Amino acid sequence: MLSRDTLPGESTPALAGIGHAAHRTGNGLLLCADLDFVDTRDVALAGCVLLDRTADDRDLSCLIDHEIPFVSIGRRDSALRQIPYVDVDHAAGVRDLVARTAAFGHRQIVYIGLPSGTTSVERLHEFRAAASAFGIKGLHAPAVWLDQLLRIGVTAVIAEHSDDAAALVRAARRRNLAVPGDLSVLALDLSEQDLLGLTGLRVPRWETGRRAVHLLARLPQKRSQVLLACEFVEGTTLAAPTPAPHSR
């Protein structure tokens, strides 16, 4: 398994899934930051999982030259060959959340998040496309204050990160606003430790690791690129907007 990610974070659950699957299939697991040892033949690799997007074409060339099968967690492009991967269908998840929010009657939604990577850009792009498709006003801001949302008449927020969603819920409730009702709040990446009952998506990171090992064991095969669906979590923070006093 190849990774140069030195900080624990999003890759940790995938690593756990890889370890689980490797143990179940009777394989040993070696975590490495480079492939220089491959030329020494001190360790015989039956396959390699690219845990994050830090691997480059030099790494891929090494694996290809030594005929070591590999699978990437996360889509990646390479001029060398088609890359087998297991990834998460973030676009479908975002589209589903926008559809559910629109179905409750929300006509103005703000997306909170900073497009700082491939996944973030994909999510924001799909939010804009879905908002247009469902005929609602979709706004984007890297961060917002509660007063800003209320002033422009926003009734629902989709936050890329659960911390931002939780902070917004707490701020609204401190102001005696009903969540949901006065404001619905959803998150695209719910934490396992969510204590607020947020509505949103849970990303199947552990499952990406498990499926990558199983895909690796079946290579080569025709279907070597797999997309996993996000899990919708109903939670308690999405409902129809409360009518404004003058419209009741």
Q: Which domains does the chain have, with CATH numbers?
A: 11-88+204-229 (3.40.50.2300), 90-202+233-247 (3.40.50.2300)
**Percentage with pLDDT > 90 across the chain:** 52
Tens digit of each residue's pLDDT (9 = 90 or more) over 109-130: 999 998 888 889 999 999 999 9
Tens digit of each residue's pLDDT (9 = 90 or more) over 128-179: 999 999 999 999 998 878 888 889 999 999 999 999 999 999 999 999 999 9
Tens digit of each residue's pLDDT (9 = 90 or more) over 232-241: 999 999 999 9
Distance of CA 223 to the CA centre of its chain: 22
pLDDT of residue 9: 64
* Mean pLDDT, residues 51-77 taken together: 84
* Mean pLDDT, residues 9-27 taken together: 83
Give the range with max mean pLDDT: 163-167, 192-196, 216-220: 163-167
CA of 109: how far to CAs of 19, 148, 150, 168, 241, in Å?
40, 13, 12, 14, 11
CA of 224: how far to CAs of 22, 124, 170, in Å?
19, 27, 44
